[in-house]
Amino acid sequence: MTALHPGAAGAFMQRLGPALDAAFGRPRAIVALSAHSLTRQPFLLAAPAHEAVYDFGGFDPKLQTLRYDAPGAPALASTVRSLLAGAGITAQVADQGGLDHGIWTPLRYLYPEPDIPVLPLAWVPTQTPAQQFALGQALAPLADEGVLVMGSGSITHNLRLFFNGGQPALDAPEIPQSQEFRDWFAERSAARDWDALLDYRARAPHAAYMHPTDEHLLPWFIAAGAGGRDAAPVRVHDGAAYGVIGMDAYAFGPQAPAVAGALR
């Protein structure tokens, strides 16, 4: 629903694109990892062009009128597959395309003109946070080539709370469990406490309640791996929508403080 009702998160993402450009320069391409493109092994969608995929039901039909016709990045797919292979990760490549809503929704705000090539990388949701982090580490050299790695999900995501008794208001007060989980993640990130973060399921407050399944959180670990262990993840947006969906955003890597500074 963020695509139709931007709220604070949408307003933030509108500022994020220019902030990323200021900190990194405009991306040459974007490798996108979404909670909604999941496969049994890593899979690169290397089509020459993409369209928005409407991979949902039960929401406002106006969502299916929104478009994001971005170019693809087939040449980049070979580079990414080689990087993954160098880390012992086998990836498949297909000349098929399509951007799920976890990709086109943020990109419509970050870069409204769809002129940056996008390479979706589907990933394996049954793997551990440590395995997702290792996948991200394999992608780290892309930063030197001007390629942005974008992970998309939700820092808290229990849709049973969202649908229970009808959709809450966009600005509904946040439930305490969501706030406590988000705060724990921000504190452990600032401390670079990777041991705790990678073991979040056992250590974070209300972890299973906020993530009955954790595919919406795991992209965080992939993006964090691309940023590396030496730089603390920086929370650049802090908030929740509908009282139950955490909308925090993080920047990773050595330039993360510059992104935060550009957003001030």
What is the domain count for the chain? 1
In a domain, 134, yes or no: yes
Q: How many residues does the chain have?
A: 264
Looking up residue 58, the CATH number of its domain turns out to be: 3.40.830.10
In a domain, 15, yes or no: yes
Confidence of residue 56 (pLDDT cuts 50, 70, 90): confident
pLDDT in tens, 59-100: 889 989 999 999 999 999 999 999 999 999 999 999 999 999
pLDDT for 231 beyond 70: yes
In a domain, 2, yes or no: no
- 219, β-bridge pairs: none
- The tokens describing 206, both together, are 């209300």
pLDDT in tens, 132-175: 999 999 999 999 999 999 999 999 999 888 887 677 888 999 99
Confidence of residue 112 (pLDDT cuts 50, 70, 90): very high
Q: Which residues constitute the domain of residue 170?
A: 7-263
pTM: 0.95
Q: What angle do CA 121, 124, 130 make, to 5 degrees?
A: 105
In a domain, 1, yes or no: no
pLDDT at 124: 98
Residues 209 and 145 sit within 8 Å (Cβ to Cβ): no
Confidence of residue 201 (pLDDT cuts 50, 70, 90): very high
Task: Supply the DSSP string of 58-71, one letter for each residue.
Answer: SS-GGGGG-----B
**CA dist., res. 11 & res. 245, Å (int):** 16
In a domain, 227, yes or no: yes
Q: Which residues of 125-162 are buried (b: 16+ CB within 10 A; e: fewer)?
A: bebebebbbbbbbbbbebbeeebbbbbbbbbbbbeebb
In a domain, 115, yes or no: yes
In a domain, 191, yes or no: yes
pLDDT for 117 beyond 80: yes
In a domain, 164, yes or no: yes
